[in-house]
Structure 1
Amino acid sequence: MASPTAAVITSTGITAPSYAEILAYLQSQYRSIYGADVYLEADSQDGQFLAMQALAISDANAAIIAAYLSYSPSTAQGAGLSNNVKINGISRAIPTNSQVDLVIIGQAGTPITSGIVEDQNSNKWALPASVTIPPSGTITVTATCTTLGAVSAGPNQVNKIVTTTRGWQSITNPGAASMGSPVETDPALRAKQKTSTALPSRTVLEGTIGAVANVSGVTRYVAYDNDTSVTDANGIPANHLAMVVEGGDVTAIASAIAAKKGPGGGTYGTTSATVLNVYSMPITINYFRPTYRAVTGAMSLKALAGYTAAIGAAAQQAVSDYVNQVAIGGGPSGTVEWADALTAANSVPGSSTFKLTALTLSGPGGVGNPDVPLAFNEAASCTPSSIVLTVT
């Protein structure tokens, strides 16, 4: 039979006694040997010795619990979670570079090798290793910023050809760049693992979403399936699939959609790529890149004892982080939620040192009421400096 100080695994999971319970058990056993009148308080040598033993047992139990929990993707952390998701054929995303879809115009048949272009801020963007302009004279490719991290570029700002090539006439980006991201967090990896299980799903839509989610560099995505015989409220034609995808290579995304989508249904969107299907026949896949909706805010705090400027900055960062992780199209509600932004601000370490007296969110159309609505293909974006802080 296990000692009362040991961690125990039952049909309901794993449990372990607390440090206080372990210490109390050791003290009772000590007194049963040396007498009930032995002094074992914290200021005694024997009391300190038992406390050291209790701490060692408690730490060992904590390690056992962590090891037990590391076997499940829903509870594993860090390296344990990274190992678990390999079972699903996925891995934790490493820090990424910003990417942008570029429209290349030039003479048909012109090869571009290791092409480099530049934006208005002198940031360099690398084209795929080899690009050949098709007979139409135009092709859309995904370029990757040579600088790691969140490098921004607005529409039509990536327009300077650095690698001069005969026959290559112009370059531009119709949409904004999708900014790079830091190493993938545990919650994001758990969400991706959950989505990845849809790859062998019974429904075609779930399989298509799972395939797109696993394309390298994809950060946010949403699918709209109009299976009716009329154009829907979002303007998606009848019997068409529209996906909105942030990040990832344009051709890789199109290939994933082509491999999983059902036969007969069309694809809809403003970004197009031609790939080969399983029969080596060319097929054009259309989808959307998100349009970014800048969200700003005004936050008022009443400072209490212990408040510092760093705590206020953390609240600004928390609201910004919440806005940037809102699903494309705003999720089920279709909005950036004011209540969730409040929760984010009140959840920062040190939140007990201030009282949040006011918070408003605004989009290009004005102040939210109180939420900021998003169109089906819009993604919210926000920086900490966009949340104006007033402290009284």
Structure 2
Amino acid sequence: MTITTTAPTVSAAGISAPTYADVLDYLQTQYRAIYGADIYLGADSQDGQFLAILAKAIDDANAVAIQVYNSFSPATAVGAALSSNVKINGIKRDVASYSTVDLTITGQAGTTIANGVAIDIAKNRWSLPASVTIPSGGSITVTATSQTPGAVQAAAGTVITIGTPTLGWQSVTNPTAAAPGAPVETDTQLRARQAVSTALPSQTVLDGIIGAIASLAGVTRYAAFENAAGTTDANGIPAHSISLVVEGGDVTSIAQEIALKKTPGTGTYGTTAQAVTDAYGNSTTINFYRPTDVPITIDVSLQSLSGYSGTIGDEVIAALVAHINALPIGAKVMLSRLYLPANLNGSADSASFEVTSLTIARDGGTPAAADLTLAFNEVATCNTSLVTLTVA
């Protein structure tokens, strides 16, 4: 393509720049206009190599200019530029986090637990908030944080040991599984959260609640449901109520955001109950769900071809596990969509095998070639031990 300038241009469609080949052709044309059309500028000539160096320098400068231009938008910025952009929405990139778990603390009313610690059956230690006071009802739900960073696992009912004996503190348990910690938030994840955060000042109350929950530290997945009808809906949500399903995050912070954003008189529904006191001293119990983990069993059969190895089989298992664990809360596990990760998303290694059979099951059932339906407050989970790989 013939160009008239080597510089980037900005139009209604955004920024664009000529290609390296176009820049080199432009320089060669101008060079011949000075020294004559018969001058030799091949790649094996000194003049040709010199012009190629100039063209590469211009092309590199253009690429940087495009990156700078794109860094001003959350949709195209990367790295530090994206971290800076999202501040305008009142959010920031999540750093590497610790696993959290909701604990039900039981004991004598009025007992204050200072810097308490609970221990699970795997000897992992979970730190309670700095100060926890057991109310008149004799129990309270708090969110404890793992003392070890990363994805520390704790199944429901496994955090049962009091690590710091305190007079009046009688028992501890976790009614739901721990929400595993996460690494530093990726650009893709931050962009998605930034898009949701713009709902904070929205005109729809439910959108505002979702935006507030999404902005809380430690929240990894969430879903919101509203029943505006006068009767209980198909999910069991009572009339004129909302129900949020939140993975990760502090139970108190979640309840406070729901109480702050919901309209007066709107009921909340869920198995996690947390008392919230407003600015006038009125106490309200906010209910929401922690997602129920549903283990997904996968049986996959491969026909090995030239170049197949056990390492490729491990890649298939890892891809299937990653796909299941990335599904949203309440999402159906669709069998047809598992064939893409099972085939390694069409990567070079996918040519070394054929997927001959793929079946799935939930809750330890018998795998079958059928989709799996989850309840609105359930989330699919998987690990390598739940995937059976057969290679012929």
TM-score (norm 2): 0.92
1:206-242 superposed Cα distances (whole Å, 9 cap, x missing partner) = 1111111111111101011111111111111111111
Partner of 2:376: 376
| SS, match of residue 223 in structure 1 | strand
Quote the sequence identity (%).
Answer: 53
Residues 33 and 306 (structure 1 numbering): CA distance in 2 closer, same or farther, change over 3 Å?
A: farther
Alignment of 1:190 onto 2:191:
yes
Preserved contact between residue 200 and residue 211 of structure 2 (Cα < 8 Å): yes
Q: How far, CA to CA, are the matches of 1:209 and 1:71 in structure 2?
A: 26
> 319, 328, 341: which is aligned to 2:338?
341
Q: Which runs of 5+ in 1 are unaligned?
A: none
Partner of 1:240: 241
Q: How far, CA to CA, are the matches of 2:142 and 2:58 in structure 1?
A: 58
Once structures 1 and 2 are overlaid, which stretch shifts more, 245-254 or 320-329? 320-329
| SS, match of residue 233 in structure 2 | coil
Partner of 1:323: 324
Q: CA deviation at 1:41?
A: 2.9
| SS, match of residue 295 in structure 1 | strand
**How do residues 279-294 of structure 1 correspond to structure 2 at under 5 angstroms?**
279-294=280-295
Amino acid at match of 1:177: A
1:165-203 superposed Cα distances (whole Å, 9 cap, x missing partner) = 011111111111111111112221111111111111111
Alignment of 1:272 onto 2:270:
no
TM-score (norm 1): 0.92
Partner of 2:361: 362
Residues 102 and 339 (structure 1 numbering): CA distance in 2 closer, same or farther, change over 3 Å?
A: same
Alignment of 1:199 onto 2:196:
no
Residues 164 and 205 (structure 1 numbering): CA distance in 2 closer, same or farther, change over 3 Å?
A: same
Partner of 1:23: 24
Q: CA deviation at 1:356?
A: 4.0
| SS, match of residue 347 in structure 1 | helix
Residues 147 and 300 (structure 1 numbering): CA distance in 2 closer, same or farther, change over 3 Å?
A: same
Q: How far, CA to CA, are the matches of 1:195 and 1:120 in structure 2?
A: 37
Partner of 1:257: 258
Preserved contact between residue 223 and residue 243 of structure 1 (Cα < 8 Å): yes
Preserved contact between residue 103 and residue 138 of structure 1 (Cα < 8 Å): yes
1:232-258 superposed Cα distances (whole Å, 9 cap, x missing partner) = 111111111111000001110000000
Q: How far, CA to CA, are the matches of 2:177 and 2:215 in structure 1?
A: 22
Residues 261 and 77 (structure 1 numbering): CA distance in 2 closer, same or farther, change over 3 Å?
A: same
Amino acid at match of 1:363: R
Partner of 2:126: 125
Alignment of 1:73 onto 2:74:
yes
Q: Which runs of 5+ in 2 are unaligned?
A: none
Q: CA deviation at 1:299?
A: 3.5
Q: How far, CA to CA, are the matches of 1:204 and 1:46 in structure 2?
A: 67
Residues 328 and 16 (structure 1 numbering): CA distance in 2 closer, same or farther, change over 3 Å?
A: same
Q: How far, CA to CA, are the matches of 2:304 and 2:7 in structure 1?
A: 45
Q: CA deviation at 1:298?
A: 3.2
**How do residues 32-51 of structure 1 correspond to structure 2 at under 5 angstroms?**
32-51=33-52
Preserved contact between residue 226 and residue 241 of structure 2 (Cα < 8 Å): yes
1:142-164 superposed Cα distances (whole Å, 9 cap, x missing partner) = 10000000010111100111101
Preserved contact between residue 303 and residue 353 of structure 1 (Cα < 8 Å): no
1:282-325 superposed Cα distances (whole Å, 9 cap, x missing partner) = 11000000000112323344555665555543443333222112
| SS, match of residue 217 in structure 1 | coil
Q: How far, CA to CA, are the matches of 1:206 and 1:139 in structure 2?
A: 29
**How do residues 89-100 of structure 1 correspond to structure 2 at under 5 angstroms?**
89-100=90-101
Residues 342 and 58 (structure 1 numbering): CA distance in 2 closer, same or farther, change over 3 Å?
A: farther
Residues 17 and 373 (structure 1 numbering): CA distance in 2 closer, same or farther, change over 3 Å?
A: same
Q: How far, CA to CA, are the matches of 2:126 and 2:222 in structure 1?
A: 23
Residues 341 and 24 (structure 1 numbering): CA distance in 2 closer, same or farther, change over 3 Å?
A: farther
Q: CA deviation at 1:40?
A: 2.8
Q: How far, CA to CA, are the matches of 1:192 and 1:156 in structure 2?
A: 31
Residues 312 and 13 (structure 1 numbering): CA distance in 2 closer, same or farther, change over 3 Å?
A: farther
RMSD in angstroms over aligned alpha carbons?
Answer: 2.1
Q: How far, CA to CA, are the matches of 1:21 and 1:305 in structure 2?
A: 42
- Aligned pairs, how many? 387
Amino acid at match of 1:327: P
Q: How far, CA to CA, are the matches of 2:27 and 2:314 in structure 1?
A: 46
Preserved contact between residue 318 and residue 348 of structure 1 (Cα < 8 Å): no
Q: How far, CA to CA, are the matches of 2:44 and 2:305 in structure 1?
A: 37
| SS, match of residue 280 in structure 1 | coil
Partner of 1:350: 348
Preserved contact between residue 298 and residue 387 of structure 1 (Cα < 8 Å): yes
Q: How far, CA to CA, are the matches of 1:214 and 1:18 in structure 2?
A: 40
Preserved contact between residue 307 and residue 350 of structure 1 (Cα < 8 Å): no
Q: CA deviation at 1:109?
A: 0.7
| SS, match of residue 54 in structure 1 | helix
Preserved contact between residue 299 and residue 367 of structure 2 (Cα < 8 Å): no
Preserved contact between residue 271 and residue 286 of structure 1 (Cα < 8 Å): yes
Residues 278 and 201 (structure 1 numbering): CA distance in 2 closer, same or farther, change over 3 Å?
A: farther
Q: CA deviation at 1:38?
A: 3.1
| SS, match of residue 171 in structure 1 | strand
Q: How far, CA to CA, are the matches of 1:184 and 1:304 in structure 2?
A: 38
**How do residues 155-166 of structure 1 correspond to structure 2 at under 5 angstroms?**
155-166=156-167
Q: How far, CA to CA, are the matches of 2:308 and 2:57 in structure 1?
A: 36
